[in-house]
Amino acid sequence: MDSSFIFGLGIGLTAILAALGGILLLTALQANRKPVRESIFDERQKGALFLFDGDTLIDCTPGAQALLAASPAPGTAWVKLLAYLSKVFPRIEEQLSKLPDEGVVTLASDETAEQPLLVLAEQRGGLSRITIVDPETEGRGFGQDPLAHRSMTEELAFLQSMLSRAPFLAWREKDNGDIIWANTAYLLNAGDLLPPGKELTWPLPRLFDKTATQQGASGQRQKLRFPDGSAAWFDLISMPDGDGLRVYALHADSAVQAEATLRDFMQTLAKTFAHLPIGLAIFDSRRHLQLFNPALLDLTGLPPDFLSRRPSLLAVLDALRDQNMVPEPKDYRGWRKQITDMERAAASGVYEETWNLPGGQTYKVIGRPHPNGALALMIEDISNEITRTRRYRADLELGQSVIDSMDEAMAVFSETGILVMTNAAYAKLWGHDPAENLTTDGITSLARHWRSKTAPNGVWAEAEEFVCTIGDRTIWSDEVRMLDGRLISCRFTPLSAGATLVSFRAEHDTKDKLQFSAHERRSA
């Protein structure tokens, strides 16, 4: 066989096999390709047509898609559609709810409506087909959907109205500082700043310094002064916008007035606290010093320049420790943490501690936390008070030791009949020591105890009346017999400030003396 024939036959078979392989590959790719859902509506179909399954959108025309995209209402397509139609048909949701029962619902706007619309809703096979038609544009040729165009126009007009009526200033400026757009509030303020007889020109005049607007920092506060002498404060907020900036100026008069009022109030507090003998330090929520008075300087010895730098609470405590103005505990770190956590350390909301300083002074420190996180620290020098208290306590102990050394039993009552003091001879005579209940024991309870230890008599009733009597009184005495036979002489002496001294002394009666004499003679 000719070799050229064989070669040609091989090439033909190769081509056939390659073609078959390509066909099989394309078939496999088409089988794996996901089908693209095509719209049931013609892309050139005019009007807004929606197909809903309940509240779920199945399909819609391009004009309907544009209408939904222009709707400012958030939510599903059904919600956006109702929000659009409710401007012309306030009861649209109630009327469309009748569609499953009636099958067809047709709505037409009033002739006086600014936006005439015609809505045709049909129920077909469980699906709701809603058509929105603009009667004024019906019958025109293909082109841009009029409803979508109207919706976008309305939204643009709404946004323009909102921005033009905004109570804040808004403008756009280029990198070179030229104002290329401004809202109505900006134009009004710019007109007020113009000299009489002069009108606005292009580019628009600047109201604020260029450096302030182009720094990019939000919250810069600037002041505008008007020809009539009035002024207005604004907070500037700048945002990049292409080759320029978008700048907003928010009115800040209320904030400036509030800050001025706060400063005046703080100055008034500072003047008031300047005359207090108690050292006062107020820390903010971040525990930085905000206010202090001169007494704090005198009590702590801290330099004014240090406190003026608004140090933290920890820094103040460390400085006090360096000045030997705080007690030196064994665990200073733990003690300092307890001081800084006053809100949790004091269950009652008030921290109070007495500092016994190495120099001999005694300070009373009170911390009052506030709901907003602030902390007021008050330091008071109570050294003299502590000294007087100690001296008073020493005097009481001395007086107690003096009456304890006396053989006569004594009890002192206050003006109201409360027991104030007894001595050791009293506890020995009457078999009880009321010193632990001085604030509760009175003449009534003690007279009841005395009656239980003596024979019946009328002395204790007179004693109760005498101790509780207010006014001039005279000293008197009487005798009572104890149950064990001892004769007790009782004396009631009025003291200053309405107090009363009751003293008891054991006496030997005549019978005891005669028995002692007979015994003495027999011994002789």
pLDDT of 356 over the 90 cut = no
36-51: pLDDT as tens digits: 445 556 555 566 888 8
- Res. 399 pLDDT band, cuts 50 70 90: confident
Give me the chain's average pLDDT, please: 76
pLDDT score, position 459:
92
pLDDT of 182 over the 90 cut = no
Which of 94-103, 121-130, 481-490 has maximum average pLDDT? 481-490
pLDDT score, position 164:
63
pLDDT of 288 over the 50 cut = yes
Q: Are 354 and 362 in contact (CB under 8 A)?
A: yes
Domains identified in the chain and CATH numbers: 48-157 (3.30.450), 166-251 (3.30.450), 264-381 (3.30.450.20), 397-511 (3.30.450.20)
Q: Are 95 and 88 in contact (CB under 8 A)?
A: no
pLDDT score, position 235:
79
Q: Which residues fall within 8 angstroms of residue 152, CB to CB, at 6 or more apart?
A: 66, 70
When pLDDT is averaged across residues 138-142 and rounded to a whole number, the result is 46
pLDDT score, position 408:
92
When pLDDT is averaged across residues 419-435 and rounded to a whole number, the result is 87
Q: Are 341 and 358 in contact (CB under 8 A)?
A: no
DSSP-based three-state secondary structure for 364: strand
- Among 151-160, 186-195, 339-348, 502-511, the range scoring the smallest mean pLDDT is 339-348
pLDDT score, position 276:
83
pLDDT of 111 over the 80 cut = no
Q: Are 518 and 429 in contact (CB under 8 A)?
A: no
When pLDDT is averaged across residues 238-257 and rounded to a whole number, the result is 79
When pLDDT is averaged across residues 296-302 and rounded to a whole number, the result is 87
Per-residue CA distances from 425 to 403, 422, 434, 509 (Å): 9, 8, 12, 21
> What is the value of pTM for the model shown?
0.42
- Among 92-101, 156-165, 459-468, 515-524, the range scoring the smallest mean pLDDT is 515-524
pLDDT of 479 over the 90 cut = yes
- Res. 503 pLDDT band, cuts 50 70 90: very high
Give the number of C-alpha atoms closer than 13 A to the C-alpha of residue 246, restricted to the C-beta side. Answer: 5
When pLDDT is averaged across residues 360-380 and rounded to a whole number, the result is 82
pLDDT score, position 441:
74
- Among 119-123, 195-199, 215-219, 491-495, the range scoring the smallest mean pLDDT is 215-219
pLDDT score, position 482:
92
pLDDT of 35 over the 50 cut = no
pLDDT of 5 over the 90 cut = no
pLDDT of 199 over the 50 cut = yes
Beta-strand runs (E) in 429-498: 476-481, 487-494
pLDDT of 500 over the 80 cut = yes
Nearest to 377 by CA among 273, 261, 259: 273
Q: Which position has the higher pLDDT, 322 or 135?
A: 322
Nearest to 77 by CA among 94, 89, 59, 91: 59
- Among 218-227, 283-292, 407-416, the range scoring the smallest mean pLDDT is 218-227
